[in-house]
A and B are shown apart, each in its own frame.
Chain A
């Protein structure tokens, strides 16, 4: 009997189930229907899971794992902890605020000898230098000379460099002795710890990150708004023109999209720089004098103009796909019932395009917040965004922990904004096509 059970239990129910017996539905071989269904469904689920498994594995391996590895660096600080065992022990035995005595300096000199032996002085010095600039050479110099030092070590070390008694240095070493730290996050919001370990704002001339987070937010919102203003009429035109003409226009929208980002950015440089096409034309027409060419490149204006252009297709396409599905007879009906064209637009047409606006705005905003190449090329001094600072710490200062802390804050900020957006607009309302 069981040999003949068809593969699909539903077929079996239709063909052979006898109806209600003993108060439960069964299929032909007597298995309760519920269990057979569950088995079939779990089979289907397994199959579906196996089908997405390669993609899932790919995403986890190449996306999720590296991101978390990178973000982990923002709290991970092993260099001092791993290479200065005597100092770590001394900090563990003596609470914060203890005046460093001869035992402390003995531990320090022992560790400096270790650093010399293992060639790690640069690593530890760099770690301390992040929080107390100028202290890196203290460690490299100290390690070089440690072997020749004689007790009492405190005196000997202070003779090499009096900075060794700086309470701020000892506070920084104490916090670096822990294998984990939140100090990079403090630095990422322009805060630091003073010699007593209290959190204070950094000196005014070094405050930069909060300002750049703010600027990134403002410029991204501005760029999103600009793309909306520019894209709305274009998308409307595309959606209402006859197909042949709209296809042609569509190519004009997509053509820049297919062009290399660098080419598009440098074209803007050619157009807008002070000796560029636009300025030359205005000088030739006598609109501005040769000495007062308008600075439109290497500043905020350059960043906003170039990014608005580059991100425009991301607003046009969702708008277009939503507008195309809007039935023109609604607006006609409204006009028929006496609405002015403005009222018809405001009360009938516009509300139907909101899902497209919502989708386009979200796309453009998120892309703009993380944009890097364009501001780097055309932003000059005041058109830089937070991503440029992250890049600076990745490739320039090589302080990857700081880059990770900034990136984590940016990611967290975007998630909060996304949550707000979901509350206000509703992610279910998005329509990408």
Chain B
């Protein structure tokens, strides 16, 4: 009896060890976004390679990386992070370098380096999507029809609470845009002390009406509950709440702020090879186009655009919902990662002080 027990335990151990090699842990942002990745990347990847994908979520997957790497206890293999975080973590030596020549070429043979949008391939990161921070409103609750970013800051014309992400990034840019700064000049204005004062002064005008959110899944909820009438949000989350859940939510593209989400591998990731396999699989032309049929984020490869079709409901055309659609780009701002890598700490400190006062 005892022998059998030992034997089975040992076998179970072996089986576990064998299994453990065929796993990759991917950390993402949760909600509709993680679902789009599970459907477009994880399931086909497991089907193609037999490697199991474990999906975990965080409010911001960049935050656990430093703690895990410094503690020497890295549990995630791939993380989906924002541009400035990818650059900062890479600079601090917390990420594995990624060899861009490993990435598959486009179907017509264009090498990956040329196929990706400018800036989408970094030393330690490969972009998968272009997303944007937009203003969205609940058409049932807001009185009238907001048309510009300035309306978000106008609580007289459009009374009601506003939702904003509790972070200086994107918030300050939007304040300046609403104050009349054209998108092309936002960062040069924000780079001066007067510009920062101006942004905070604009925020002051609606401070008492702001509900702060932190997780990407919150704004659609706050809007649907009627807790706020307008909110900044990630455009894909609003699309999903509006199209698949039928919520009366509308995206205001004016003043949108575009950003990349990039895949990175934390230094010392337990399944580094699988992580690399996963990244090159997930960022091929077809996969990036597939993701766009689950959520309205733009693919980071030029060759994917032509393959983007309809939403999974089979009737909604995705193209006009993409942040990169020409009609939506008329007053769009591209997030300046270098500005934020430099000023993140300073501006968030001031932002926190402003919040607390």
Contacts and interface: CB of A to CB of B under 8 A. Distances in A.
B211 A298 contact: yes
Interface stretch (B13-21, B233-241, B277-285, B342-350): B342-350
Nearest to B200: A205
Contacts of A389: 352
Give the residue among B66, B90, B342, B344 with the most A Cβ atoms within 10 A: B342
B202 interface: no
A8 B127 CA distance: 76
Contacts of B346: 129, 133-134
Interface residues of A, number: 39
A123 B349 contact: no
A134 B344 CA distance: 9
B350 A123 contact: no
Given A133-B345, A134-B346, A399-B345, A275 B91 contact: no
B356 A273 contact: no
B22 interface: no
Contacts of A399: 345
Contact of A211 (B211, B226, B347, B356): B356
Contacts, number: 92
Contacts of B348: 392, 396-397
Interface in A348-402: 380-382, 384, 389, 392, 394-400
A121 B60 CA distance: 25
A208 B352 contact: yes
Contacts of B226: 275
B212 A205 contact: no
A134 to B, nearest CB: 5
Given A133-B346, A140-B91, A382-B356, A395 B225 contact: no
B42 interface: no
A206 B353 contact: yes
Contacts of B161: 274
B63 A381 contact: no
A381 B353 contact: no
Contacts of A136: 341-342
A146 to B, nearest CB: 16
Contacts of A191: none
A395 B67 contact: yes
A123 B63 contact: no
Interface string B98-131: 0000000000000000000000000000000000
B352 A121 contact: no
Contacts of B355: 381-382, 384
Nearest to B167: A396
Contact of A129 (B63, B197, B342): B342
A273 B227 contact: yes
A211 B225 CA distance: 34
Interface in A228-257: none
Nearest to B225: A275
Contacts of B345: 129-130, 133, 397, 399
A381 B212 CA distance: 8
A273 B227 CA distance: 8
A99 B197 CA distance: 33
Given A395-B67, A398-B66, A137 B212 contact: no
B356 A134 contact: no
B92 interface: yes
Interface string A288-315: 0000000000100000000000000000
Contact of A122 (B93, B207, B338, B352): B93
A125 interface: yes
Interface string A191-232: 000000000000001111001100100000000000000000
Contacts of A396: 63, 348
Given A137-B341, A275-B225, A123 B92 contact: yes
Given A205-B353, A206-B350, A211-B356, A394 B91 contact: no
Contacts of A123: 91-93
A119 interface: yes
B88 A134 contact: no
Given A130-B345, A133-B342, A275-B227, A384 B356 contact: yes
B210 interface: yes
A133 B341 CA distance: 10
Contacts of B210: 381
Nearest to A392: B352
Given A206-B353, A211-B356, A381-B355, A134 B343 contact: yes
B301 to A, nearest CB: 27
A62 B354 CA distance: 37
B70 to A, nearest CB: 8
A121 B342 CA distance: 13
Interface in B213-243: 225-227
Give the residue among A208, A298, A394, A400 with the most B Cβ atoms within 10 A: A208
Nearest to B207: A381
A126 interface: yes
B8 to A, nearest CB: 31
Contacts of B352: 208, 384, 389, 392
B177 to A, nearest CB: 21
B353 A394 contact: no
Contacts of A120: 93
Interface string B35-70: 000000000000000000000000010011011001
A326 B343 CA distance: 61
Given A126-B92, A274-B227, A395 B63 contact: yes
Contacts of A129: 342, 345-346
A135 B352 CA distance: 21
Nearest to A215: B356
Interface in B257-276: none
A129 B60 CA distance: 22
A134 B342 contact: yes
Nearest to B97: A119
Interface of A: 119-123, 125-126, 129-130, 133-137, 140, 205-208, 211-212, 215, 273-275, 298, 380-382, 384, 389, 392, 394-400
19 contacts: A122-B88, A122-B93, A126-B88, A133-B343, A133-B346, A133-B347, A137-B341, A140-B91, A205-B354, A207-B353, A208-B349, A212-B356, A380-B212, A381-B356, A382-B356, A384-B355, A392-B352, A394-B67, A396-B63
The 5 closest A-B pairs by CB, nearest first: A122-B91, A133-B346, A208-B353, A395-B63, A381-B355
Interface of B: 60, 63-64, 66-67, 70, 88, 90-93, 161, 197, 200, 207, 210-212, 225-227, 338, 341-350, 352-357
Given A208-B352, A274-B161, A384-B356, 4 more contacts: A126-B91, A129-B342, A134-B346, A398-B63
